[in-house]
Amino acid sequence: MQKKRIAIDMDEVVADALWKFEQLIERDYGKIFDRKAFSGGKIYDMFPDGQRDKVRGYLFDKGFFIDLPVMENSQEVIRELSENFEIFFTTAAMEFRHSLEDKYDWLLQNFPFVPWKNFVFCGDKSIIRADYMIDDHVHNLETFQGKGLLYTASHNINERRFTRVNNWLEIRAFFREECRG
């Protein structure tokens, strides 16, 4: 039987992009940014107008995406899921030209058991056909025709329409239930 397919987002789902923002903010502004201290938005939206563009601009820098920490338990859970599901990494990379090679190298390094055939770099995820999508952005799940799982991030905490997952252990539990059902 054909395995069902899971499309997994990268930033703030398997890659801790927020960590990199924290490092760069500390470098440029000399203050440690506490991720628990903001909620309901993007980290760069916590800055006043003059600084917001500079902070969001980190995303355009070569190297931003290359050394992001892997989200806790994501490697072991995805390895386990890959036994019963087809795993695709689907990431909105196209706004950031310099992210392409960084994201490619990062995936090969951190998820060597997922073949490059299953990497998808796109701009608009409504182009994705899969059975499940795990993503922190509501707009990606809104256009998805399969079952969407919303990975909790500060900017989506007020959303109620999708099945919410707070970490990779909850994702493991969800799919164990799906396999049973």
Q: Given the DSSP bridges, would you call strands 147-151 and 132-135 parallel, antiparallel or unpaired?
A: parallel
Q: Site mask, a copy of itself, residues 1-20, x = CB under 8 A? A: ----x-x-------------
Buried b (16+ CB within 10 A) or exposed e, 1-36: eeebbbbbbbbbbbbbbbebbbebbeeeeeeebeee
Q: Which of 128, 133, 141, 149 binds a copy of itself (CB under 8 A)?
A: 128
Q: Is residue 122 close enough to count as binding a copy of itself by CB under 8 A?
A: yes
Tell me how far, at minimum, the Cβ of 123 lies from a copy of itself, in Å.
3
Which CB atom, from 62 or from 176, has the smaller least distance to a copy of itself? 62
> Nearer Cβ to a copy of itself, position 77 or 93?
93
Angle in degrees, CA 68, 71, 74, rounded to 5: 130
Binding range to a copy of itself, per CB under 8 A, among 73-81, 115-123, 134-142, 165-173: 115-123
Find the radius of gyration of the CA atoms of the chain: 16
In the numeric block, the tokens 């796109």 are attached to 122
Size, binding site for a copy of itself by CB under 8 A: 28
Strand partners, 90: 120
Active-site amino acid positions: 9, 11
